[in-house]
Amino acid sequence: MKKTYYITIIGCQMNKSDSERIAGYLEERGYALSDSRDKADLVVVTTCGVRQSAEDRVYGLIPKIKKTNPKVKIILTGCLSSRKDVRGRLKKYVDIWMPITELESLADKLGIENGKSSSLSGYLAINPKYNSKFSAFVPIGNGCDNFCSYCVVPYARGREVYRDADEILKEVEGLVGKGYREIILIAQNVNSYQSKIPNFKFQIPNKFKIQNSKSKIINFPDLLKLANDIPGDFWIRFSTSHPKDMSDDLISAVAECENVCEHIHLPVQAGDNEILRRMNRKYTAEYYAGLIKKIRRKIEGVCVTTDVIVGFPGETEEQFNKTVDLFKQIKFYLAYVSQYSPRYGTASAKMEDDTPKEEKKRREDVLMDILRKTAFEENKKYIGKNAEVLIEGINRKGELFGKTRTFKNVKIRIGHNKLRVTNLVGKFINVQINKAEGFGLEGEVVK
């Protein structure tokens, strides 16, 4: 009988993507997916250290897994896997500590045949087992060189490493060939992507000129254009971008490439320049606002979303109000608002975390109130218009749900033909929008 595995994922889309590669790796080596964590021979926990709440979940979960399944082997990977304090705290429960960049040597640690040889792109070259049949994360790199003062990623994942353009494009081409409709290119910092041309073998009818051909480097705008030219009916999204690396070439590529969606997620993190300086973000609020203006001018109908942290060490009421002003000025569609919590080993962990919890919560609520209003105003503009929607599933009320190219959630009421409804999952359909809500839209299928 085959040995079985189960994966529990905590955290971001990079962790979800890593888990698809872990699943692919284990299945190539004879493991089968278990339908229960309590019966699996191997449980992999993909951890997140970006927020304290995510870390606390791990401390609760790991002992529980061992208690309900004493014979299980626990593999801990993700952001917490290299941290000495976490290793000390969980050492009696965890059997294998595996920073994700060491995935290729997992077989040795499990005492099984390793099989495949490693590639220059490291673990990113492993064949994944995709979770969805129509939407796929395609990692283009791993790690970060930016060292924002609050962030664990450069310590947890290491410095930036990028995959060959050739390998990425082959993965995208394979997915599109299998009928995938949404390709999400991901890395901690997609827009600092670079791949050297000497390794570049991929051939497609390419109507765009590779801009940096003289320097023999493929950068992110080039990669987008090349992926865009793969024949097929599909969308491309990408995440996450750093404002300092958001070049004019990249904005033009998004505007020109018909398969690239009109959605830019651009973390601002704060609206006050002194806080931005102490966060080591390397831009000012004025630069950021100017960038958004440019993006909106060049990419028709673009939707802009962001990340922001409230209660960073030393953030005064006056400094927070600069973030409030920026939110009112820019009118984001969506923002992931985090209450600051010090992260082990980072530069800001040495600063005094001096904003009380209740005040952080109040600041979060202030920004969410602005967002609800600005998102609703933007959504109202869609009423009476048609939008192409990628259907992601059916909710409990029997309504279809999906997203527009501009990352807006849409619910669609549909008649009683259940088979027809089920067949629409993973397809593009044309929807007439007839209602706007705070963060979503409602509509009907255009006949």
Residue ranges in contact with ligand SF4 by CB under 6 A: 144, 146-148, 151, 153-154, 188-189, 242
Nearest to ligand SF4 of 132, 194 (CB atom): 194
Token digits for 133?
């049949």
Q: 3-class DSSP state for residue 290? A: helix
Give yes or no for a contact between 182 and 235, defined as CB atoms under 8 angstroms apart: yes
Closest CA to 140 of 102, 99, 183: 183
Q: Work out how close the CB of 238 gets to ligand SF4 at its nearest, in angstroms, rounded to a whole number.
A: 14
Q: Work out how close the CB of 25 gets to ligand SF4 at its nearest, in angstroms, rounded to a whole number.
A: 24
Q: Work out how close the CB of 150 gets to ligand SF4 at its nearest, in angstroms, rounded to a whole number.
A: 7
Q: Work out how close the CB of 239 gets to ligand SF4 at its nearest, in angstroms, rounded to a whole number.
A: 11
* Numbers of helices and strands, H then E, in the chain: 13, 20
Q: Work out how close the CB of 74 gets to ligand SF4 at its nearest, in angstroms, rounded to a whole number.
A: 27
Under DSSP, the state recorded for 39 is T
Cα–Cα distance measured from residue 340 to residue 315, given in angstroms and rounded to the nearest whole number: 10
Q: Work out how close the CB of 60 gets to ligand SF4 at its nearest, in angstroms, rounded to a whole number.
A: 25
Cα–Cα distance measured from residue 87 to residue 310, given in angstroms and rounded to the nearest whole number: 30
Cα–Cα distance measured from residue 175 to residue 127, given in angstroms and rounded to the nearest whole number: 12
Nearest to ligand SF4 of 65, 140 (CB atom): 140
Nearest to ligand SF4 of 98, 148 (CB atom): 148
Nearest to ligand SF4 of 145, 369 (CB atom): 145
Assess whether the previous peptide bond of 240 is cis (omega < 30° from 0).
yes
Q: 3-class DSSP state for residue 388? A: strand
Cα–Cα distance measured from residue 430 to residue 418, given in angstroms and rounded to the nearest whole number: 18
Nearest to ligand SF4 of 195, 346 (CB atom): 346
Contacts of 19 (CB under 8 A, 6+ apart): 7, 9, 44, 46
Neighbours of 440 (CB within 10 A): 16
Cα–Cα distance measured from residue 320 to residue 308, given in angstroms and rounded to the nearest whole number: 11
36-39-44 Cα angle (round to 5): 70
Please list, residue by residue across 260-286, b when 16 or more beta carbons sit within 10 angstroms of its beta carbon and e when fewer do: bbbbbbbbbbbbbbebbebbebebebe
Q: Work out how close the CB of 20 gets to ligand SF4 at its nearest, in angstroms, rounded to a whole number.
A: 20
Q: Work out how close the CB of 242 gets to ligand SF4 at its nearest, in angstroms, rounded to a whole number.
A: 5
Nearest to ligand SF4 of 26, 153 (CB atom): 153
Nearest to ligand SF4 of 229, 307 (CB atom): 307
Token digits for 260?
């690239």
Q: Work out how close the CB of 280 gets to ligand SF4 at its nearest, in angstroms, rounded to a whole number.
A: 8
Nearest to ligand SF4 of 75, 187 (CB atom): 187
Cα–Cα distance measured from residue 159 to residue 102, given in angstroms and rounded to the nearest whole number: 14
Laid out side by side, the sheet with 263-265 consists of: 263-265, 303-310, 334-339
Nearest to ligand SF4 of 187, 226 (CB atom): 187
